Chain A
Amino acid sequence: MSPQGETKIPAKRQLVTKPSRTADKVFFGLTSVAANFSIVLILLILGFLLYQAWPAFQSQGFSFFSGETWDSSATPQIFQIGPMLWGSVLVALLGMVIALPLAISLAYFIEFMAAKKIAAVATTLVDLLAAIPSIVIGLWGFAVFGPVAQHWASLLHDYLGWIPYVFYHEGANYGGSPFIAGLVVSVMIVPIITSVTREIFSQMDRDVVNASIALGAGRAATFRKVILPTASGGIVGGALLGLGRALGETIAIFFVLNLVFHINFFQVINGEGGTVASMIVSKFGEADASERSALMASGIVLFVLTLLISALSSYIVKKAQPWRTN
């Protein structure tokens, strides 16, 4: 009743939903215990691994990250994960480079080209394939796909071997190379990236897409100028999700990649490599206390790496699609 602006505004009280009854207090308490458990769990993981890894970090110093030797029988023992660290990055990047165009094509095909029924079947299939355990992919990569990929590698060598360094290869055996590991990893992450990308495509405003086509822009121009720019943030987020998965991938790579402690920068079809995760599994069984500490240290490095990727991806997704979080 009083005109606005003249009344003195009293102090604002922030209202929150507070439990009042005992039963509600218990209910709220239990849920926040569960929520806090996730904090505790992450802290425990970081804390215990760090505690166990400390001796290794201390004895190895910075060369733990950069050196190329892993020898538990030497005195003093030498544990350096340089080649593995680089190998993880190389294999994950190769996997990404192969998977990204495939995943975007597949998502575009499902969302914008295929008939409804085919799209539905393909969507189900992609979601199911995203759930294939890595040991199954590992066995497939080792027993079925390996020989095929080795043949492809030999073709690359035959036809593109004139390119220096990258397609260099020695010996007759094309197995165990980063190229094959990258392919196997890409098969693992294609379904993940596809399903994220497809979801983003499906959430896009169809009117915008149709309007662009109605203006006579054509499919290709619409894809380049409307679809990709709108979806790019989400696609990058999905790609980083796949990259995180690729970095942590263990068993599938264990079966298809040779473990060699020598940094192999870009000789992708040469059978030298190894990743942090696959190294942990292959060394863990016979490790003594100090080697185990070094493996814990490798684990924590890997974890921190994936944490960074995940933080980056959620930042990008939040920037690109504010409606996905609230």
Chain B
Amino acid sequence: MTATQVQTSTMKPTNPWAKRNKARTRDVVIASLLPGILAVVFFFVGTALGATIDPAVLLIIGFLPAQLLAAFLVGRKYYGRHGREDALLIVVTIFLSTFVMVLLLSVLWSVISAGALALRPSFILQNSHYISGTTSLEYGGAGHAILGTVMAVAITTILTVPLGFGIAVYLTETGGKARGVIRTLIQAMSGLPSVVSGLFIYSILVLQGWQPSGFTGSLALLPLMLPTVSRVSEEALRLVPVDLRNGALALGSPTWQAFAKVVFPAARSGLLTAVLLGVARIVGETAPLVLTTTYNNDTNLNPFNGPMAMLPTFIFGYIRNMYDTSIQRGWGGCLVIMILVGVLFVGARVANRKKK
């Protein structure tokens, strides 16, 4: 036992196929780092000497060509003809990927850093009674809007989920004849511009004499949530093996029992994912609410009557005020929405992972 251990520890893996080429490693490292270092040095030295150097210009006409040239040379030297093409592809890919990730992370970071300044207990707990665009952030908050969003989204969810599940079951379980048409329509509905959904509810309800309320907002969100819920739950149901359905049916089970007692339990986490992604889709939807609800500085606990604030309309209103403090409140609202979306998203991931 010991002998073997000693032997293994003294044995060195030999990889005759590996090209151990120190010069190549050195050149690749230099080619990857040098242009960046030069650019940074150039920027600081130049600035110190009193020149105005624009980082964006330096990046595009200084660093990028230098990096491309370095990669090109090293690629050609060690890998020949296809080496220089590959090197350019790698540089371009990394450059563009970095650029887009920086943009996307900038969105997240802005929301977190600017929103954190507004976020405090009173922001969650209080409403905006007596609050104007210039009132200090110590007073008032988005509590009423959070409540409004929770209630309106809950109503939309209660209405949409049975419909979405019904459509998914129709598509996967009943062998219905109109499956192709329904799938196409759901696809079309997922492209429905949110503002058009708002116009629709306005024309069919508000113009017919309904007062705008939280409920009209909920209805305007329904066509936006429905495609997400039905598409994701269809996928979840489709992941349930056909063998299980057949096993149940072969026992003499009616289709609905086979669904309720075998397919549904097997797809439960996937269906939960569908609901969570559906909610995430609509929780920050603004345009339809701007058209179909009216804003309120006070708390309204009745979604069926009277003006009701929701987070998106809260944010929208404060941004339009254009005062620094009101934009601060907008950032706070955005952070709350992003936290909601993040929680829903993580929930959906966890639910999905449990299944696998």
Residues in A lying within 8 Å of B, measured CB to CB: 16-17, 19, 21, 23-24, 26-28, 30-39, 41-42, 44-45, 48-49, 51-52, 101-103, 105-106, 108-109, 113, 122, 124-129, 131-140, 142-145, 151-152, 155, 159, 187, 190-191, 216-221, 223, 241, 244-245, 247-251, 255, 277, 280-281, 284, 295-296, 299-300, 302-303, 306-307, 309-311, 314, 325
Q: Are A136 and B163 in contact (CB under 8 A)?
A: no
With CB as the reference atom, state the residue of chain A lying closest to B341. Answer: A131
CB <8 Å contact, A128 and B345: yes
CB pair A31 B56 closer than 8 Å? no
Q: Which of A26, A31, A49, A309 contacts B166 (CB 8 A)?
A: A31
Question: Could you say which residues of chain B place their CB within 8 Å of the CB of A138?
Answer: 319
Q: Which residues of B contact A129 (CB under 8 A)?
A: 104, 107-108
B182 touches A38 (CB 8 A): yes
User: Which residue of the partner chain, among A16, A23, A24, A105, contacts B93 with CB atoms under 8 Å?
Assistant: A105
**The one of B100, B182, B194, B312 that contacts A190, using a Cβ cutoff of 8 Å:** B100
Contact between B191 and A244, CB atoms less than 8 A apart: yes
Cβ–Cβ contact B107 & A137, under 8 A: yes
Select one of B92, B170, B312 contacting A34, CB under 8 A: B170
> Quick one: given A218-B83, A277-B193, A303-B196, are A102 and B312 in contact (CB under 8 Å)?
no
Q: Are B331 and A139 in contact (CB under 8 A)?
A: yes
Segment at the A interface, from B8-16, B199-207, B296-304: B199-207
Give the interface SS of chain B, mostly helix, strand, loop or mixed. helix
Per-position binary interface string of chain B over residues 226-265, scored 1 when its CB falls under 8 Å from any chain A CB and 0 otherwise:
1000100000000000000000000000111101000000
Contact status B255-A19, CB under 8 Å: yes
The reply to whether the CB of B316 lies closer than 8 angstroms to some CB of chain A is yes
The docked-state distance in angstroms from the alpha carbon of A24 to that of B175 is 13
Query: Which residues in B have their C-beta under 8 angstroms from that of A159?
Result: 57
Q: A129-B104, A133-B286, A136-B337 are in contact. Are A37 and B86 (CB under 8 A)?
A: no
Considering only CB atoms, which chain B residue lies closest to A136 in the complex? Answer: B334
Range class of the B interface residue count: 35 or more
- Interchain CB contact under 8 A, B104 and A248: no
Closest 9 CB pairs of A and B: A133-B284, A34-B166, A248-B193, A218-B82, A27-B256, A220-B85, A105-B96, A31-B170, A310-B191
Which residues of the other chain, B, contact A134 by a CB distance below 8 angstroms? 284, 286-287
Query: What is the CA–CA distance of A325 and B235 in the complex, to the nearest angstrom?
Result: 11
Is A52 within 8 A of B174, CB to CB? no
0/1 per residue, B79-98, Cβ < 8 Å to A? Answer: 10011011011101110110
Among B280-302, those with CB < 8 Å from A are 280-281, 283-287, 290-291
In the bound complex, do residue A280 and residue B223 qualify as a contact, i.e. CB atoms below 8 Å apart? Answer: no
Given contacts A105-B97, A129-B104, A223-B89, contact A136 B182 (CB under 8 A): no
- Within 8 Å by CB of B319, from A126, A139, A155, A281, lies A139
* Cα of A306 to Cα of B59 in the assembled complex, Å: 37
- Give 27 A-B contacts (CB < 8 Å), ordered by A residue: A16-B175, A17-B175, A19-B254, A27-B256, A31-B170, A38-B167, A38-B182, A38-B186, A45-B197, A105-B92, A113-B94, A132-B284, A132-B341, A134-B286, A135-B312, A135-B316, A140-B107, A159-B57, A187-B103, A187-B104, A219-B85, A250-B193, A250-B287, A300-B196, A306-B192, A307-B188, A311-B188
Is the C-beta of B178 less than 8 angstroms from some C-beta in chain A? yes
User: CB-CB < 8 A to A132: which residues of B?
Assistant: 107, 284, 338, 341
Partner of B106, one of A26, A140, A299: A140
Which residue on B lies nearest to A220, using beta carbons? B85
Query: Which residue of the partner chain B has the closest CB to A53?
Result: B203
Q: Is B330 an interface residue (CB 8 A)?
A: yes
Chain A residue with Cβ nearest B277: A131
A133 near B176: Cβ-Cβ < 8 Å: no
Docked pose: A135 CA to B318 CA in angstroms = 12
A38 CB → nearest B CB, Å: 5
Q: Smallest Cβ distance from A312 to chain B, in angstroms?
A: 11
Known: A44-B204, A131-B280, A251-B287. 16 other contacts (CB 8 A): A34-B163, A38-B230, A41-B226, A48-B200, A48-B204, A49-B203, A52-B207, A113-B94, A129-B104, A133-B286, A136-B111, A219-B85, A241-B191, A249-B193, A250-B286, A310-B187
Q: How far is the CB of B329 from chain A (nearest CB, A)?
A: 11
Provide the residues of chain A in CB contact with B171, threshold 8 Å.
35
Contact of A31 among B107, B176, B197, B203 (CB under 8 A): B176
Chain B: residues with CB nearer than 8 A to chain A? Answer: 54, 56-57, 79, 82-83, 85-86, 88-90, 92-94, 96-97, 99-101, 103-104, 106-108, 110-111, 114, 162-167, 169-171, 173-176, 178, 181-197, 199-200, 203-204, 207, 223, 226, 230, 254-257, 259, 277, 280-281, 283-287, 290-291, 312, 315-316, 319, 327, 330-331, 334, 337-338, 341-342, 345, 349
Nearest chain A CB to B181's CB is how many angstroms away? 7
> What A residues does B204 contact at CB under 8 A?
44, 48
CA distance A288 to B71 in the complex (A): 63
Query: Which chain B residue has the least Cβ–Cβ distance from A278?
Result: B195
Q: Report yes or no: B104 in contact with A190, Cβ–Cβ below 8 A.
A: yes
| A42-B188, A136-B338 known; A255 vs B200 contact (CB < 8 Å) | no
How distant is A114 from chain B, measured CB to nearest CB, in Å?
A: 9
Q: Which of B103, B166, B195, B207 contacts A299 (CB 8 A)?
A: B195
CB-CB nearest in chain A for B177: A16
CB closest residue in chain A, given B259: A27
> Which residue on B lies nearest to A99, using beta carbons?
B100
Closest Cβ–Cβ distance, residue A151 to chain B (whole Å):
7
Tell me, rounded to whole Å, the shortest Cβ–Cβ distance linking A200 to chain B: 16
A49 CB contacts on chain B under 8 angstroms? 196, 199-200, 203
Question: Which one of B54, B111, B166, B181 has the highest number of Cβ atoms from chain A below 10 Å of its Cβ?
Answer: B166
- In whole Å, how far is A291's beta carbon from the nearest beta carbon of chain B? 13
Residue of A nearest to B54 (CB): A155
The reply to whether B334 and A109 contact each other, CB–CB distance below 8 Å, is no
Q: Roughly how many angstroms separate A139 CA and B196 CA in the complex, as a whole number?
A: 22
Q: Are A52 and B99 in contact (CB under 8 A)?
A: no
Q: With a CB–CB cut-off of 8 A, which chain B residues contact A218? A: 79, 82-83, 85-86
**The one of B106, B290, B330 that contacts A145, using a Cβ cutoff of 8 Å:** B106
Q: How far is the CB of B224 from chain A (nearest CB, A)?
A: 10
How long is the Cα–Cα vector from A128 to B96 in the complex, in angstroms? 20
Of B86, B103, B170, B257, the residue contacting A220 (CB under 8 A) is B86
